[in-house]
Amino acid sequence: MTKFEYIKMDSISRVDFVKAFLRVHDLDNQYSPGVHAGPDFKLWWTGSNGGKAGTLTIENDRDFVLALSTLMQKNRRTCTVSVEFDTDGMDGYRIRKLQVPVLADDSGFAELAYGTRVPNVDHFSNDAQLHGPIILELKQKWVCQQHLGEHGEPGHCYITPNGDHIGLNARRLKFWAAAIAAHDVTKHDPPNSLEFDGACDGRMITTKPRGRSGPQPALAPATTSQLLMAAILSNLTHDGKRRRSPSPQMPRTPTRSRTYTIPLSPPPKPGLELRTCLEDFANVKGIDLTGCQVTLASVDFTPDVIPAVSVQRLCELTAATEGQVIKLQAFCKGWAARFEEKQAYLAGKRRRLD
């Protein structure tokens, strides 16, 4: 489409010139020129070398300045400037207006569907997507009315068979969900790990007090006769002790409080002791040696045996450093002791039931 318009060319810039001829064709609201280059257009004028066949293609500011300096030397009264451009090649300079979607429900209670802060499944890792539903299921099962949340809502606790409450914080829920996803445990019993065996030594100690205590009835104030009688009886008692030969005091067995050690999680199933121990070691110490399970099991290096194996031998089997191996031995020693306690506790419990 050909149109004619008068455009003042004195000291005009390339950007303004492009806007001017786009305005002639009512395209200035659809396209915008680049700051330093584009869109390309052809420019020729009366008396230019080669005429239309030898047109110049203007791509950037430098091309336009050179063409304009030559054009300004022509006779302004008789010189006609022609421009040719192709909108098919100008898609990159199209003005794209951002359309704000309008929600059908403007009551203020509709779910947020647009914006940069809207949660999206793709923003979460595969583990988070897998463990999230499991954590929700654990929270539904282990609701605790005794230990409330931060805002007064019911909390979440794992209740042991002995009635003890273990608070399910975010770390324990995540650890339990990971064990369920690995098909090691179910939602009915937590994993056998230090996360559920106690904060420090893997156990919960409850003390049963002995002796007699409690409120005592108030004593009535003593009268003068009662005080006199008490003094006479005291003198008689002292006189009797002086005449009587001292008798040897019978030895007494010292009393002490009875302490019960109650494991908070079931022991691992037979055959999974080494695997569970290495997983606990990775979670507690941050040293992952679970890939060495098959190698250690092939030589029967179980958690109770590892502390007795030489450091050099374990370094050869696990390719770990000496420091990591020493930490593993110390951890296995404590882990094996807790495992034996749990076995003894369960055996005693079975005997009591029988």
pLDDT in tens, 292-345: 989 999 999 999 999 999 999 999 989 889 999 999 999 999 989 988 888 888
pLDDT value of position 212? 44
Rounded to a whole number, what is the distance in angstroms from the first to the last CA of the chain?
Answer: 103
H helices of 202-321, in order, are: 224-243, 273-285, 293-298, 311-318
Predicted TM-score (pTM) of the model is 0.31
Count Cα neighbours of 277 within 13 Å in the Cβ-side half-sphere: 29
- Please, what is the average pLDDT of the chain? 76
- Running DSSP on this structure, what letter comes out for residue 89? G
Dist CA 221 CA 158 (whole Å): 53
Question: Do the beta carbons of residue 25 and residue 72 sit within 8 Å?
Answer: no
pLDDT value of position 345? 81
Tens digit of each residue's pLDDT (9 = 90 or more) over 50-95: 677 777 788 898 888 888 888 888 887 788 888 888 888 888 888 8
> Greater confidence, 253 or 339?
339
Report residue 218: phi and psi, to 5°. -70, 140
CA dist 2 to 27, 76, 81, 85, 146, Å? 14, 21, 13, 11, 84
Tens digit of each residue's pLDDT (9 = 90 or more) over 13-26: 999 999 988 888 88
pLDDT value of position 45? 82
Q: Over range 266-289, report the average pLDDT.
A: 87
pLDDT value of position 111? 52
Is the pLDDT confidence value at 10 over 60? yes
Dist CA 55 CA 44 (whole Å): 5
pLDDT value of position 81? 86
Q: Tell me how crowded residue 42 is: count the other CB atoms within 10 A of its CB.
A: 14
Q: Over range 107-126, report the average pLDDT.
A: 58
Tell which residue, 287, 282, 277, 279, has the closest CA to residue 322.
287
pLDDT value of position 209? 38
Largest CA distance in the chain: 153
